[in-house]
Structure 1
Amino acid sequence: MQITVGRAFVALLAAGVAAPAIAQGSYGSTAPQQSRGAPTPDQQEEESAAPSRGAPTGSAPAKEEIQGGIKPSKGAMKPIVELQKAVAANDQANIPAKLAAAQAAATTADDKYLVAQFQLKIAAAKNDLPSVASAVDTIAASGKIDSQKVGALYRGLGGSFYNAKQYDQAAAAFARAVSVNPADIESLKLVGETQLAQNKRPEAAATFGKVIAARNAAGQKAEEDLYKRAVQLAYDSKAANATQLAREWVAAYPSPDSWHNAIAIYRNLNQPDVESTLSLLRLMRATKAMTNPGDYALYAAAAADQRNYNEAQVVIDEGIAAKVVDPSSARFKDIIGPLKTKPIATAADLATASKTAATGAALLGIGDRYYALGDYAKAVDAYKAAQSKGADAEVANLHIGMALTAAGDKAGATQAFNSVKGSRAAIAQYWLLYLQGRA
């Protein structure tokens, strides 16, 4: 890709960082001016072709300094004026010597700032990036222009290095732009683009995550494409922040697509057990994110693995009704055939089983079958009874939260999900995210 800010430093010459016209005894009044913001790409094209401002005419009284407090030293005045004349005349034969003489004579910050402006203009015209970088560093060190303009200069420098495929230098320039102007979110994004060009995918994912956070902090909702890129990069590189970025994506842009991807990323990176897989697939079903046959096949197989044939059958029936599951396919024949031979518990069966269940695990299973039947109140009762008989408290609380969510008890579900700790806490937080987004 090409970065369009590559010539921003040229545009800035016409936007207030221009080399001032100097005449001994009658100094000009063109620099520095108040910043009017970074130019747009169109403005850059127009301004980069604009001629530099000439010396003011008329009978203005002599001044000892240029507007803004710039005051060349006496020793540097003559070399700087001669450099200005050579640049104005495009005297390529003498410009190098005049520049060297002016640099040698520059002793004060003002001198160095003025000479660096001319150096910047000369180097930009030749696309001499090392000299451009040197000039920008000198201008930045002078303290004569504000941080926004300094940041814009480094952003432009970084763009030029990027387009020249000098990515290390580009990354350093963009990072410098951010360091002098932390509010420059665009330069931070360009740091990520450069890291991507360097094939530093985990670093790019982390930087794009910072861009998202910065935009949110500034009250600017990051675009969904940025979330998608950050999540994809983090996932591909198995970065530690992949799951967090996916959660942030679905929080900002909840949809069947974002939910499907966020849940799939969590599953693929964490390899949860069957119990946790079912909890995630139930969330996928609740968010209407089951969009392909594989989702239904996995869900039905996981439910059947726990002998919850009620839920397995419900899911298969839903897939067929949605025309996503083809019951005649070999894949689903292998699922549907055995299901036909399995017992599907009725409400009466579950009521009887609840009275005789001796273990917490048995009561958890009963609760899951009530959940499959849509009787969420009785499911919650079974899960709570399971807790009292030694069932895994994290599993029980997670299931209570799911059942209360389905029942519309937002406060109760929130309390249950917040009670889940340990390895299943992340799954509970996904459910809590879904719950908070419901009306």
Structure 2
Amino acid sequence: MKSPMASMSKLALAAALSAGIAAPALFAPAAAAKKEEAKPGYKLSPAVLKVAKPAQDALQANDLATAETNIAAVEAGASTDDDKYVAAALRYDLEQRKLAAAQQANPNAALDETKLAGPLATLYASPNTAPDAKARYAYRLGALNYNSKKYAAANQYLQQAQQLGYKDPNLPLLLVKSKIEGGDVKGGLADLSTVIEQTNASGQKAPEDYYRYGISRANAAKLNPETMTWLTRYVQAYPTAKNWRDVAIMFGLQQGSIATLDKDQKLDVYRLLRMANALADQAHYLDYAQTTRDRGLPGETVAVVQEGIAKGKVPNDANTKAFLATATAAAKAEGSLSGLEAKAKSAADGKLASQTGDGYLGQGNWTKAAELYRLALSKGAANADAVNTHLGIALTHAGDKAGAQAAFAAVKTQPRADIAALWTAYLNQSAA
């Protein structure tokens, strides 16, 4: 007596779903019929089986209109878990084919994938779904919910995909983004750090976009300490001239920056950009030069202007020539700092030693600058954070990486601590 339920190969259906858009093979070829009969199958009600085979045939022929009619009939007649599973598999196949056809017709049009969510959810929840397929469906549902800005649901599905062992290079970052866009910015940024560390540990370099995303989301949430951390990590990993400029501007060289810097603090950022060969334009060069002139550092003023002219960033016009002539005369008049150095050594405090160290720094005498800064610190300099910053700069130029790192690490108050962190990132930067 014929069973009231007909069967289809579970193996055939699983293969179809793993391919993503292939239709389930409802009937085995005649030559394989006996083998197929020996396999456990999905039991389909006669009403569903009657239209499921024509639906599959229409899909294989890419006759989407006929497939739609028959699949709708499958869905209407589905009464068991197996019926509903096959109906969802056919619907998912059809909707993907519709998307492919729409994209082929208009490659620039936005695709509406929301119709995939229903059949995917059915397949994911079905007791008939194998674990590996369940992982794929969880990932796809996570991606669909993310694109629909349903971030909590997206994160839930993506976590399940990860727990089920799904492997996809986009999964870790999508998990991070769903958490951040869902409102848990700090938690998501911590996860992003882990993703970057794991990627780097695997021998691959974490993409630049990972860092940019961390910066943008931390900044949008007004998490200034976290933003600063991401900025320093970014230029350390990708230290191009453009990236250094972008980071410096975002940090403190424009209105509305993360930090509000005074002239002396900006000067140390300009010095960093010059060290990184990243001064942007005439405005940067001339602001840098004017600041050094105002601070009584004519030797540095001359060096900065001459560099700007040589690199084509500063026009060698009458105004520039006059400015340069004045600075050159001041540098000659400054002469030797040995007299000030002797007075600094006998002074009761470190103020003159610090100022003389600044003079040597402006002249590019890194060894003497470091010596005077250390003297200032030993005498109890009132501006210890500024002195340690300048000591680190002098030692960076002198090639003493360990000494520079120690000096920068001694800077404790903001915003100088962040300036020191940027200099430390320069010392630790990867090859660009």
Same fold (TM over 0.5): yes
In the alignment, which residue of structure 2 is the partner of 1:179?
159
Query: What are the Cα deviations for residues 226-285 of structure 1, in whole angstroms up to 9, with x where unaligned?
Result: 645765676688664443333222111222222222222211321222232222222112
- Pick closer, same or farther for the CA change 1:145–1:256 going to 2, 3 Å: same
Question: Which 5+ residue runs of structure 2 have no aligned equivalent?
Answer: 59-65, 100-111
For the Cα contact (< 8 Å) 1:154–1:176, is it kept in 2? no
Q: Secondary structure at the match of 1:168?
A: coil
RMSD of the alignment, in Å? 4.3
**Alignment map for 1:82-97 (pairs within 5 Å):** 82-88=50-56, 90=66, 92-93=68-69, 95-97=71-73
What is the correspondence of 1:343-422 to structure 2 with a 5 Å cutoff? 343-355=333-345, 357=347, 359-387=349-377, 388-422=379-413
Partner Cα separation in structure 2 for residue 315 and residue 436 of structure 1: 25
Q: Which residue of 2 aligns with 1:65?
A: 40
| Identity of matched residues, % | 25
Contact 1:380-1:403 at 8 Å conserved across structures: yes
CA distance in 1, matches of 2:321, 2:124: 67
Task: Tell me if structure 1 keeps the 8 A contact 2:244–2:276.
Answer: yes
Kindly provide the amino acid, as one letter, of the partner of residue 65 in structure 1.
P
Alpha-carbon distance in 2 for matches of 1:397, 1:333: 35
2:13 to 23, 31, 34: 31
Distance 1:315 1:350, change over 3 A: farther
Match of 1:244, SS state, is helix
- The one of 402, 422, 428 equivalent to 1:430 is 422
Q: Is the 8 A contact 1:148 1:181 kept in 2?
A: yes
Q: CA deviation at 1:30?
A: 0.6
Give distance in 2, aligned partners of 1:91 and 1:314.
Answer: 76
The alignment of Structure 1 onto Structure 2 pairs a total of residues equal to 387
Structure 1 regions of 5+ residues with no counterpart? 1-22, 40-46
Q: Distance in 2 between matches of 1:100 and 1:35?
A: 21
Distance 1:362 1:252, change over 3 A: same
Aligned position for 2:137: 150
- 1:273 is aligned to 262
Match status 1:119 vs 2:91: yes
Q: Which string of whole-angstrom CA distances, capped at 9 and with x for unpartnered residues, describes residues 354-412 of structure 1?
A: 24655433321110111222322321221122221432222222222222222222222
The residue type equivalent to 1:364 in the other structure is: S
Q: Which residue number in structure 2 is paired with residue 136 of structure 1?
A: 120
TM-score, length-normalised on structure 2?
0.72
SS at structure 1 position matched to 2:12: coil
1:288-367 → structure 2 map (5 Å cutoff): 288-328=277-317, 330=319, 333=322, 337=326, 340=329, 343-355=333-345, 357=347, 359-367=349-357
Residue 195 of structure 2, aligned match among 210, 214, 217? 214
- Kept in 2, the 8 Å contact 1:402–1:413? The answer is yes
1:254 aligns with 2:245: no
Matched AA of 1:402: I
Indicate how the Cα distance of structure 1 residues 214 and 122 shifts in structure 2: closer, same or farther if over 3 A, else same: same
Query: Contact 1:154–1:177 at 8 Å: present in 2 too?
Result: yes
Call closer, same or farther: CA 1:27–1:299 in 2, change over 3 Å: closer
Change in Cα spacing, 1:93 to 1:254, as seen in structure 2 (3 Å) is closer
- Map of 2:109 onto structure 1: none
Q: Do the aligned residues in 1 keep the contact of 2:395 with 2:403 (CA within 8 Å)?
A: yes
- AA aligned to 2:272 is L
Cα separation, partners in 2 of 1:256 and 1:64, compared to 1, 3 Å: closer
For residues 164-175 of structure 1, the aligned pairs below 5 Å read 167-168=148-149, 175=155
Following the alignment from structure 1 to structure 2, what is the Cα–Cα distance between the partners of residues 35 and 217? 31
Partners of 1:235 and 1:304 lie apart in 2 by 34
